[in-house]
Amino acid sequence: MRKSAGYRNNLRFNWRVMMVPSSLIDYVVAHELCHVVHKNH
């Protein structure tokens, strides 16, 4: 499952993310938002 937070803080998610349980989607989005604040966490 590909996801990324670019250097311009653009979040991009693979379409397959929509196929997982919503609680996991929340986790993936929260994790990628962490990259906006802490680039190399």
Contact call for residues 22 and 11 (beta carbons, < 8 A): no
pLDDT for 20: 92
pLDDT for 19: 92
pLDDT for 24: 92
C-alpha 41/C-alpha 37 separation (Å) is 9
User: pLDDT (tens digit, 9 = 90+) per residue, 1-41?
Assistant: 555 555 677 788 888 988 999 889 999 889 888 888 876 66
Strands 3-5 and 11-13: antiparallel
Tell me the one-letter amino acid at 7.
Y
Q: For the chain, how many residues are written? A: 41
C-alpha 9/C-alpha 36 separation (Å) is 6
